């Protein structure tokens, strides 16, 4: 394996050329080996149509490369210049209420617009031609953060035209579409594909099958857009191709986009995410305001490890952007506790990150992100985050083999299920990500290291326990893998409750051969309406009524089955709160022979290679199995040498 390395995002076009050499030297001095550039620089590369200005970029690449840095070059397609909108006025994505989005920030394009797609291909090819063989360019990034700022779904004319083509390809005849969608309902039958519109601005809710196909189509448009860039790049370069995904974005199938890439990466903003996209309550946000949710980053590290391509049997993924200090975009933007930038970096390494790259080098004194910290302050003086990054770069040298080998526990994560339950939540609090993440958090609280697997997974043989929360429709591969699988499976709630066509399966869910269990009815619950479980904790948000002749291993206080077990299969007929989740997971882990430990407060651990990383996300010191950790501190144990590489707090 290669040793984990550090990187940084840099915008030479934001700074006078006279400072680039010094910047590069300081990066190297800090122990940084990768630098990402270019991803927003279109207006400087091509200020007016066809007028290409490569000189400055040539120079920047030369300076960075000569300093010893590997350059990641981004295609600039997330920020088409203003003249592009003059050329293609209808290229803007259109919001659900029919309003075109405007120029003046970024990501102002519709994935279906053919004119813009051609422009994106054109600039990609120009860059690939010029830099594909440049020895300093060691990787490419396509676009930037697909899906950021709610930009996957577009209700434009271009999207409508492309959707019709997509539907025709999928269904071939309009009768097939009418049958699949159940359009006899409310006289929604179509006479031809050209009558099918996008599912927005309907009087009341549109047909869920219509919405689901629109979601699949919209995801496919991203795959297409990205693939076009990848095939161009591959014609000119052998360097790996990467995209930087985000936290809690489920609007497109990352596994499908990932199939065209070599490395998955994501942008990790622990404090921004806690404020901006966490389901946790006020107390939790208060307790972790300077550390971030102890499990949110870990979940995404594991998810993107699954999305990444393989090299020598090891999945390739990076953190492309790591928060270095306060950000500008969350409702509140506190500063991290001293030590957290180091801890976040180490946590990523412990999940197998090849590179952790900070966003950004120097804080910009102008425009939208002037309040966003960098490793350096706007005046060029090293900020706290920079000092911590420099410290980690030295510590990393002590690692030999840091591979995140397969974990015995796997959770199936399925983007289509996220679309399905957004389309038909059947209770406003039902959210697929939230459900899967609750399971993940439960496992982390038990000290269990987890792998995420896609629904197309056809081999579970490495696993002792596999969990499928909320999987809307079974896939053939998963069904087949399950039959051969000898470990434990925890299934539900809502798993197998729809067909691919978004209908209730004839034999009722969960629909597992040889497992006599039928979900006959379901209910969603307000927060005050949770159903207590006899063994402790409750079902919240969602609960199911099941008919079964199998063994009922847990019951609700109202007498209805909560857990139903036969041999290796356990069905969970509701959404457990944290207390019930911990108990249920502990029980299935024990049955599967997976060791658990009770993680107190902010203590977390992660096993990787022959190491164990111990972390304290808490704002108070914590002791676990005799290991004392100060707030934001870490300790690293080498299980092979039986010695500490980084000692716990004294
Ligand atoms: C995202 C983007 C970056 C920058 C940061 C700010 O992750 O990719 O360009 O806007 O957020 O946190
Ligand atoms: C949004 C995203 C963040 C970041 C900011 C940048 O809020 O959620 O990741 O990209 O935009 O402005």
pLDDT digits (tens, 9 = 90+) for 487-544: 999 999 999 999 999 999 999 999 999 999 999 999 999 999 999 999 999 999 999 9
Q: In this model, does residue 250 exceed pLDDT 70? A: yes
Residue 600: predicted pLDDT: 85
Identify the nearest ligand to the CA of 330 by its number: 2
Substitution site in 143, 333, 359, 372 for ligand 1 pocket (most atoms within 8 Å of beta carbon): 359
Count: domains in the chain:
3
Cα–Cα distance measured from residue 375 to residue 8, given in angstroms and rounded to the nearest whole number: 9
Distance between CA atoms of residues 94 and 99, nearest Å = 5
Residue 60 main-chain phi, psi, to 5 deg? -60, -45
Question: Do 289 and 366 reside in the same domain of the chain?
Answer: yes
Q: Round to whole Å and give the CA distance between 247 and 296.
A: 8
- For the CA of 272, the closest atom of ligand 1 is 12
pLDDT bucket at 229, cuts 50 / 70 / 90: very high
Are residue 555 and residue 506 in the same domain, yes or no?
yes
Structural domain that includes position 360: 5-149+222-398
Q: How far is the CA of 328 from the centre of ligand 2 (A)?
A: 9
Asked, for residue 186, whether it belongs to a domain, the answer is no
Which atom in ligand 1 lies closest to the alpha carbon of residue 145? 8
What's the 634 CA to ligand 1 centre distance in angstroms? 27
User: Region 474-479: what's the mean pLDDT?
Assistant: 96
Instruction: Describe the strand order of the beta sheet including 611-616 as a list of residue ranges.
Output: 603-608, 611-616, 634-638, 643-646
CATH number at residue 637: 2.60.40
Give the span between the Cα atoms of 13 and 38, in whole angstroms. Answer: 8
DSSP 25: H
Domain-embedded: residue 291? yes
**For this structure, is 119 an active site residue?**
no
Q: Is the pLDDT of residue 215 over 60?
A: yes
CA of 275 to the centre of ligand 2 (A): 12
Does 371 contact ligand 2 (Cβ within 6 A)? no
Query: Residue 331 CB: number of other CB atoms within 10 A?
Result: 8
Phi, psi of 275 (to 5 degrees): -75, -35
Q: pLDDT at residue 283 above 70?
A: yes
Asked if the structure places residue 214 within a domain, the reply is: no
pLDDT on residue 403: 76
Binding site membership of 633 for ligand 1 (Cβ less than 6 Å): no
Residues 229 and 375 in one domain: yes
Q: Which of 353, 373, 398 is the last residue of a domain?
A: 398
Q: Which of 17, 66, 58 has its CA nearest to residue 38?
A: 58
CB 260 within 8 Å of CB 223: yes
The ligand whose atoms approach the alpha carbon of 329 most closely is 2
The backbone torsions φ and ψ at residue 130, rounded to the nearest 5 degrees and listed phi first, read -75, -40
d(CA 302, CA 467): 15
Average pLDDT over residues 213-238: 98
**What backbone phi and psi angles, to 5 degrees, belong to 183?**
-75, -5
Q: Which residues of 105-126 are buried (b: 16+ CB within 10 A; e: fewer)?
A: ebbbbbbbbeebbebbbebbbb
Q: Check whether residue 145 and residue 248 sit in a common domain.
A: yes
pLDDT attached to residue 245: 98
pLDDT of residue 339 exceeding 80: yes
Instruction: Let me know whether 365 and 503 are in one domain.
Output: no
- Residue to mutate, 369, 373, 374, 385, ligand 1, most ligand atoms under 8 Å from C-beta: 369
Mean pLDDT of 7-16: 98
3-state secondary structure 582-636: HHHHHHHHHHHCCCCCCCCCCEEEEEECCEEEEEECCCCCEEECCEEECCCCEEE
Q: How far apart are alpha carbons 277 and 265 in whole angstroms? A: 19
Same domain for 620 and 573: no
Residues 571 and 623 occupy one common structural domain: no
Question: Would you say the C-alpha torsion 613, 616, 617, 623 has a positive or negative sign?
Answer: positive
Q: Are residues 301 and 435 in the same domain?
A: no
Atom 10 of ligand 1: nearest residue by CA position? 369
Out of 174-183, 253-262, 309-318, least confident range: 309-318
Does pLDDT of 616 surpass 70?
yes
- C-beta atoms surrounding 269 within 10 Å: 26
Say which ligand is closest to the CA of 267.
1
Pairwise CA distance, residues 188 & 211, whole Å = 14
Query: Active-site residue 321, yes or no?
Result: yes
Give yes or no: residues 33 and 95 share one domain.
yes
Q: Exactly one of 39, 145, 354, 544 is catalytic; which is it?
A: 145
Q: What CATH number is associated with residue 376?
A: 3.20.20.80
C-alpha 630/C-alpha 621 separation (Å) is 4
**Mean pLDDT in the chain?**
97
- pLDDT at residue number 87: 98
**Is the domain of 394 the same as that of 413?**
no
- Does any ligand 1 atom lie closer than 6 A to the CB of residue 78? no
Mean pLDDT computed over 631-648: 97
Q: Is the CB of 329 under 6 A from ligand 2?
A: yes
Bond from prior residue into 510 cis (ω within 30 degrees of 0): yes
For residue 249, report the distance from its CA to the centre of ligand 1, in Å: 14
**343 is written with which tokens?**
């801890």
Strands 531-532 and 538-548: antiparallel
Measured from the Cα of 321, ligand 1's closest atom is 7
Domain membership of residue 559 (yes or no) is yes
Look at residue 362 in the predicted model and tell me its pLDDT: 98
Give nearest CA residue, ligand 1 atom 11.
267
Kind of pairing between the strands at 263-268 and 317-322 = parallel
As given in the structure block, the two tokens for residue 585 are 């997971």
pLDDT in tens, 578-593: 999 999 999 999 999 9
pLDDT for the residue 310: 84
Q: Which residues contact 530 (CB under 8 A, 6 or more apart)?
A: 538, 539, 540, 577
Does residue 444 sit within a domain?
yes
Domain boundary among 549, 573, 592: 592
Mutate to test the pocket of ligand 2, among 104, 251, 296, 329 (most ligand atoms within 8 A of CB): 329
Distance (angstroms) between ligand 1 centre and the Cα of 279 equals 22
Determine which residue's CA is closest to atom 1 belonging to ligand 1: 267
pLDDT of residue 1: 53
Residue nearest to atom 6 of ligand 2 (CA): 329
Residue nearest to atom 1 of ligand 2 (CA): 149
Q: Would the pTM of this model clear 0.75, i.e. be above it?
A: yes
Q: How many Å separate Cα 269 from the centre of its chain?
A: 12
Buried b (16+ CB within 10 A) or exposed e, 485-513: bebbbbbbbbbbbbbeebeeeeebbbbbe
Q: What percent of the chain is predicted at pLDDT more than 70?
A: 100
pLDDT band at residue 313 using 50, 70 and 90 as cut-offs: confident
**Of 119, 321, 354, 384, which residue is the catalytic one?**
321
- Ligand 2 within 6 A of CB of 531: no
- List helix spans (H) across 172-290: 174-181, 208-236, 254-258, 270-276, 282-287
Domain boundary among 379, 398, 417: 398
Report the C-alpha gap between 384 and 360 in whole angstroms.
Answer: 13
Tell me which residue has tokens 């939540």: 425
Cβ 574 vs Cβ 543: under 8 Å: yes
Q: What is the pLDDT of residues 124-162, one digit of tens each?
A: 999 999 999 999 999 999 999 999 999 999 999 999 999
pLDDT at 237 over 90: yes
Mind listing the pLDDT tens digit for each residue in 418-476?
A: 999 999 999 999 999 999 999 999 999 999 999 999 999 999 998 999 999 999 999 99
Q: Where are the beta strands (DSSP E) in 375-487?
A: 409-412, 450-453, 465-468
Q: Which residue is closest in CA terms to ligand 1's atom 7?
A: 267
Which one of the ligands is nearest to 146 CA?
1
Is residue 427 in some structural domain?
A: yes
pLDDT at 402 over 80: no
Tell me which H or E stretch contains 532.
Answer: strand 531-532
- Residue 360: is the preceding peptide bond cis (ω within 30°)? yes
Instruction: Report which ligand 1 atom has the smallest distance to the Cα of 40.
Output: 9
Q: Which pLDDT belongs to residue 477?
A: 96
Q: Is the pLDDT of residue 227 over 80?
A: yes
Residue 321, CB-side half-sphere exposure with 13 Å CA sphere: 25
Q: Is the CB of 148 under 6 A from ligand 2?
A: yes
Atom in ligand 1 nearest the alpha carbon of residue 269: 12
Same domain, yes or no, for 493 and 576? yes
Distance from the CA of 276 to the center of ligand 2, in angstroms? 9
Instruction: Classify residue 36: in a domain, yes or no.
Output: yes
Same domain, 392 and 523: no
Q: Do the domain assignments include residue 317?
A: yes
CATH of the domain at 494: 3.40.50.880
């Amino acid at each position: 394996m290669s040793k984990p390395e550090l990187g940084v995002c840099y915008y030479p076009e934001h700074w006078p050329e006279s400072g680039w050499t010094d910047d590069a030297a300081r990066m190297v001095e800090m122990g940084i080996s990768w630098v990402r550039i270019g991803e927003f620089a279109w207006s400087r590369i091509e200020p007016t149509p066809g007028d290409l200005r490569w000189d400055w970029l040539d120079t920047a690449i030369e300076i960075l490369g000569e300093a010893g840095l590997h350059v990641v070059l981004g295609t600039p397609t997330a920020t088409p210049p203003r003249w592009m909108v003059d050329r293609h006025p209808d290229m803007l994505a259109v919001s659900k209420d029919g309003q075109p989005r405007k120029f003046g920030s970024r990501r102002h394009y519709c994935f279906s617009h053919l004119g813009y797609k051609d422009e994106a291909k054109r600039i990609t090819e120009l860059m690939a031609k010029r830099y594909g063989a440049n020895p300093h360019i060691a990787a490419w990034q396509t676009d930037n953060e697909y899906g950021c700022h709610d930009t996957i779904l577009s209700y434009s004319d271009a999207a409508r035209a492309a959707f019709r083509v997509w539907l025709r390809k999928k269904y071939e005849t309009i009768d097939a579409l009418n049958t699949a969608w159940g359009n006899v309902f409310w006289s929604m039958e179509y006479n031809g594909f050209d009558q099918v519109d996008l599912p927005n601005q309907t009087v009341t809710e549109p047909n869920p099958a219509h919405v689901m196909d629109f979601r699949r189509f919209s995801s496919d448009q991203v795959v297409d857009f990205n693939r076009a860039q990848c095939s161009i790049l591959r014609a000119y370069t052998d360097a790996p191709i990467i995209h930087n995904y985000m936290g809690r974005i489920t609007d497109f199938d990352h596994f499908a986009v990932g199939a065209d890439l070599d490395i998955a990466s994501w942008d990790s903003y622990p404090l921004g995410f806690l404020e901006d996209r966490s389901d946790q309550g006020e107390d939790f946000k208060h307790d972790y305001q300077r550390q971030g949710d102890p499990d949110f980053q870990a979940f995404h590290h594991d998810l993107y490890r699954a999305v990444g391509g393989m090299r020598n049997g090891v999945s390739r993924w990076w953190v492309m952007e790591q928060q270095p200090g306060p950000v500008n975009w969350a409702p509140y933007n506190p500063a991290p506790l001293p030590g957290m930038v180091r801890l976040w970096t180490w946590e990523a390494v412990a999940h197998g990150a090849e590179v952790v790259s900070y966003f950004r080098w120097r804080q910009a004194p102008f425009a939208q992100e002037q309040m966003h910290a960098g490793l350096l302050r706007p005046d060029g003086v090293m900020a706290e985050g920079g000092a911590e990054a420099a410290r980690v770069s030295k510590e990393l040298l002590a690692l030999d083999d840091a591979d995140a080998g397969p974990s015995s526990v796997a959770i199936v994560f399925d983007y289509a299920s996220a679309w399905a339950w957004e389309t038909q939540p059947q209770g406003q609090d039902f959210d697929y990500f939230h459900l899967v993440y609750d399971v993940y958090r439960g496992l982390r609280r038990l000290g269990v290291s987890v792998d995420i697997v896609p629904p197309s997974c056809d081999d579970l043989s490495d696993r002792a326990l596999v969990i499928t929360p909320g999987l809307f429709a079974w896939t053939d591969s998963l069904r087949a893998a399950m039959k051969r699988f000898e470990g434990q499976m925890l299934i539900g709630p809502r798993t197998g409750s729809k067909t691919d066509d978004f209908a209730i399966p004839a034999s009722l869910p969960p629909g597992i051969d040889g497992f006599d269990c039928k979900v006959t009815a379901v209910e969603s619950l307000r927060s005050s309406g949770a159903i207590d479980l006899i063994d402790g904790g409750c079902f919240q948000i969602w609960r199911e009524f099941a008919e079964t002749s199998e063994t009922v291993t847990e019951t609700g206080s109202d007498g209805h089955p909560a857990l139903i077990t036969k041999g290796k299969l356990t069905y969970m007929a509701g959404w457990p709160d944290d207390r019930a989740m911990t108990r249920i997971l502990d029980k299935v882990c024990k049955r599967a022979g997976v060791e658990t430990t009770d993680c107190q407060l902010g203590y977390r651990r992660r096993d990787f290679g022959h190491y164990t990383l111990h972390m304290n996300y808490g704002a108070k010191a914590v002791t676990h199995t005799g290991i004392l950790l100060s707030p934001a501190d870490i300790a690293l144990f080498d299980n092979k040498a039986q010695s500490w590489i980084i000692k716990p707090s004294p």
